[in-house]
Amino acid sequence: MPLRSVFWQKLRRPEIAAARDAGAVVLIPVGSTEQHGAHLPVDMDIAAATAVCVRAAEQVTEFPVLVAPPIWSGYSPHHMENPGTITLRHETFTALLTDVVDSIMHHGFRHLILINGHGGNVGHLAALANKLTTSGRPIAQTSWWNLVGDDFREILEGMLKGVGHACEAETSCYLALDPTGVDMNLAVQHEEASYIVPADEAIFRAAGMDFPAVFRAGSPGVHGDPTRATAEKGERILAIAASRLAAFIRAYRQIDLSQVPALFPE
Ligand SMILES: [Zn+2]
């Protein structure tokens, strides 16, 4: 029986139980609500992550794949100087995700995958997945752009051959998903290299050192060239990400996760 909807929250109790009994894989889209320049809506990151999950889930027909209610919130204090951003603290973010993951596992689902759409979440999600996995709740996670990888080189025309912020890739995805949300008249090309205090980026780069970037007040809020964005590029990007995710889902489900040791208590 095909699922009536891939969205967990649209299903009824017996439908979710049947999906569980059929060995469903559950995708959890994670994003943020944050400023994305003047031309994009603040739901950019969760919109892209959710779209990749839904498209992948719809491609897998051999077993059910559910998309959990999208996590609209993430870790974005570095965007708080500009309006629109709603951030969680690290503790809130990881506690929220832990409770969501534990709830889904509590109902008997074993194969869960976190699909992230926000760069600021990357380190937090890696630490969370490590903690969950070593305490007996293994979970796979990635950011959707990792599924696209080198294919960005073929698709994108600007200097940046990947995802920056409110950039060519992200704007293209939004144009593909909902062109009414984008105001291309306000799209500007900009390279954001803003530290918390004035400092030469080259010093850090030469030493292989990371120093977190922030989007200070009045910044265009863009890193990359959204003026080159098109819906056609967005369709290509989303299609590649979704088909790679679908392939991973099929392989991941083959792995036996029924007996996983807890190496260390939470
Ligand atoms: Zn973004």
| Alpha carbon of 67 to ligand 1 centroid (Å) | 20
| Alpha carbon of 165 to ligand 1 centroid (Å) | 5
> 213 pLDDT band (50/70/90 cuts)?
confident
Residue 117: both structure tokens together? 């759409």
- As a whole number of angstroms, the distance between CA 24 and CA 18 comes to 9
Residue 1 has pLDDT above 80, yes or no: no
Least confident of 107-111, 201-205, 226-230: 201-205
| DSSP conformational letter for 51 | H
| 264 within a domain of the structure (yes/no) | no
| 3 within a domain of the structure (yes/no) | no
| Alpha carbon of 41 to ligand 1 centroid (Å) | 10
pLDDT of 214: 92
Q: Are 91 and 128 in contact (CB under 8 A)?
A: no
| 215 within a domain of the structure (yes/no) | yes
| 163 within a domain of the structure (yes/no) | yes
Q: Which one is predicted more confidently, 40 or 191?
A: 40
Residue 88 has pLDDT above 90, yes or no: yes
| Alpha carbon of 184 to ligand 1 centroid (Å) | 16
Residue 193 has pLDDT above 80, yes or no: no
CATH number at 27 reads 3.40.50.10310
Q: What is the Cα 147 distance to its own chain's centre?
A: 11
Residue 204: both structure tokens together? 């850090």
Mean pLDDT over 94-113 rounds to: 98
Residue 237 has pLDDT above 90, yes or no: yes
Phi, psi of 141 (to 5 degrees): -155, 150
| 77 within a domain of the structure (yes/no) | yes
Q: Which pLDDT tens digit goes with each residue over 135-148?
A: 999 999 999 999 99
| Alpha carbon of 249 to ligand 1 centroid (Å) | 24
Mean pLDDT over 116-134 rounds to: 97
| Alpha carbon of 254 to ligand 1 centroid (Å) | 32
| Alpha carbon of 6 to ligand 1 centroid (Å) | 24
CA distances to 17, 55, 68, 85, 249 from 5, in Å: 14, 12, 11, 30, 18
Residue 233 has pLDDT above 90, yes or no: yes
| Alpha carbon of 117 to ligand 1 centroid (Å) | 7
Q: Which pLDDT tens digit goes with each residue over 69-81?
A: 999 999 999 999 9
Mean pLDDT over 167-173 rounds to: 98
Please report, rounded to a whole number, the percentage of residues in the chain having pLDDT higher than 90: 92
| Alpha carbon of 118 to ligand 1 centroid (Å) | 6
| Alpha carbon of 166 to ligand 1 centroid (Å) | 6
Question: How many domains, the chain?
Answer: 1
Q: Are 145 and 167 in contact (CB under 8 A)?
A: no
| 99 within a domain of the structure (yes/no) | yes
| Alpha carbon of 37 to ligand 1 centroid (Å) | 10
User: pTM of this prediction?
Assistant: 0.96
| 259 within a domain of the structure (yes/no) | no
Residue 95 has pLDDT above 70, yes or no: yes
| 266 within a domain of the structure (yes/no) | no
Domain containing 31: what range? 8-253
- Picking from 178, 153, 181, 180, the residue whose alpha carbon sits closest to that of residue 168 is 153
| Alpha carbon of 27 to ligand 1 centroid (Å) | 19
